[in-house]
Chain A
Amino acid sequence: MACFTATLVEAVAVTIAKTVVKKKEKERETALMQSGKTIEEKTAAPRIKLSEKLSWLNMMLWGGSVLLLFEHVWHGEVVPWFPFLTAASSPESTQTMLHEIMTVGVGMTVLVTAVWAVMVLAADLIAGRSEEPSEEVTA
């Protein structure tokens, strides 16, 4: 009915968060450059930036939402005229639609965010492992 709206809302929130984080990262980098710190101090920052990680979640949410929106248009559940959602035409169907958003829609956002969290953990682990000094193999 309109389950994609839940993921769409999260996508907007993540986009805003990503923009703010990116701006702060740029400011920090500029401050670091101006303070003339050493290379070691500069590279002490995490290998994968938070803005980069947020962009993964952003892409999953926006991409998924757009493709789901297309599916809803295909099934005639989203129309180009007001109120845009056919389920919003009567109070009974609106109730059903809201229930679906609260169950299926929220479930979608939780699953996508959980998978993203696992991705971030795995990426940090891999990045951390590659930073460790490799043991010298003696013959």
Chain B
Amino acid sequence: MTLLLTVFAAVITTAVWYFKAHDKKLMVGRLCLMYWGASLMWTVDAVAEYMELKEEFFTPAAADMLNDAFLGAAVVALGLVIWLAMLLIKDPKHVLRNTFIRN
């Protein structure tokens, strides 16, 4: 579930990056790469787990699935928070700078 949710986040952010490619100031590309990096890493993890568990890998317990889904949502949220922090620190549209200099 963590892998699935991260892949969904990666696909959605890639679509956003594609349609907003002209606006580099949004730095969506960085968010895409972050999610794709994590997705690839969890893919390897999933393959290793499959080699160990075989068929059991596809029939996880409901409690494990719920915990993994919760973790996946938390991972997506953390990615968004990191991206937002990068955006505010870099402040490419000088929104923060203008706000604090004027006041």
Taking Cβ atoms with an 8 Å cutoff, the residues of A that contact B are 3-4, 7, 56, 59-68, 70-71, 74, 103-104, 107-108, 111-112, 115
**Which residues of the other chain, B, contact A59 by a CB distance below 8 angstroms?**
30, 33-34, 37
Instruction: Please give me the residue from chain B that is nearest to A114 by CB atom.
Output: B40
Let me know if B75 is at the binding interface, CB within 8 A. yes
Interface size bracket, B side: 20 to 34
- Minimum C-beta distance from B27 to chain A (A): 10
Stretch of B15-23, B43-51, B94-102 with 4 or more beta carbons under 8 angstroms from chain A: B43-51
Contact B41 A112 (CB under 8 A): yes
User: Across the two chains, which residue of chain A brings its CB closest to B35?
Assistant: A63
Q: Report which B residues bind A (CB closer than 8 A).
A: 2, 6, 30, 33-45, 47-48, 71, 74-75, 78-79, 82
Q: Is B34's CB under 8 angstroms from A111's CB?
A: no
Residue from B34, B40, B71, B75 in contact with A108 in the complex, judged by beta carbons closer than 8 Å: B40
The listed residue (B33, B35, B43, B75) touching A70 by CB distance below 8 A is B75
List of B residues within 8 angstroms of A112 by Cβ: 37, 40-41
Q: In the complex, what residue of chain A is closest to B34 when comparing beta carbons?
A: A63
Residue of B with least CB distance to A112 = B40
Q: List 16 A-B contacts (CB under 8 A).
A: A3-B41, A3-B44, A59-B34, A60-B40, A62-B37, A63-B79, A64-B37, A65-B37, A65-B41, A66-B82, A67-B75, A68-B38, A70-B78, A108-B45, A111-B41, A112-B41
With contacts A3-B45, A59-B34, A66-B82 known, is A111 near B71, CB below 8 A?
Answer: no
Q: Whole-angstrom distance between the alpha carbons of A59 and B40 in the complex? A: 13
Contact A7 B71 (CB under 8 A): no
Are B33 and A60 in contact, with the CB atoms below 8 A? yes
Q: Tell me the complex Cα distance, A3–B6, Å.
A: 18
Report chain A residues within 8 Å CB of B48. Answer: 103-104, 107
How long is the Cα–Cα vector from A104 to B48 in the complex, in angstroms? 7
A15–B41 Cα distance when bound, in Å, is: 19
Min CB gap A59→B, angstroms:
4
Contact B75 A60 (CB under 8 A): no
Task: Known A-B contacts: A65-B41, A112-B37. Give 4 more (CB < 8 A).
Answer: A67-B34, A67-B37, A68-B38, A107-B47
